Amino acid sequence: MPDPRTPEPRRKVPQRSAQKTLETYFAENSEVATSREERTQIFTRVLDEVMGLGPLEPLLKDPEVSEVMVNNKNTIFVEKKGSIICDFGPVYG
């Protein structure tokens, strides 16, 4: 939980910096991401990699997931609503 005395959570400053960097990159390389949706997806992936746990972030943010168990990079078990589901790797599509 962020310290209420701190004006912004620690993630906000790097997030703004990353967003500015990516916006500059997109402006210079328009062929990379054509739609706002694609840019948002790329930004989310970059931020998850830099500030979080990469491709595990969507699992950790899912309110239905109560536990994430990583055996190796290709075998992940997720507990949802009391059932354990095998997920074969949190790779980005």
Q: What is the pTM of this model?
A: 0.66
Cα dist. 53→11, 35, 68 in Å? 13, 26, 12
Q: Measure the CA angle with vertex 73, ends 54 and 12; round to 5°.
A: 10
Instruction: Give residue-wise pLDDT tens across range 54-88.
Output: 888 888 889 999 999 988 878 889 999 999 998 76
Residues 47 and 12 reside in one and the same domain: yes
Computed over every residue of the chain, the mean pLDDT equals 81
Same domain, 3 and 43: yes
Are residues 28 and 71 located together in one domain of the fold? no
pLDDT of residue 39 exceeding 60, the answer is: yes
Q: Can you tell me the mean pLDDT for 9-26?
A: 81
Q: Give which of 46, 41, 58 is closest to 15, Cα–Cα.
A: 46
- The total of structural domains in the chain comes to 2
Helix (H, G, I), strand (E, B) or coil at 39: helix
Containing domain of residue 80, as a range?
A: 55-93
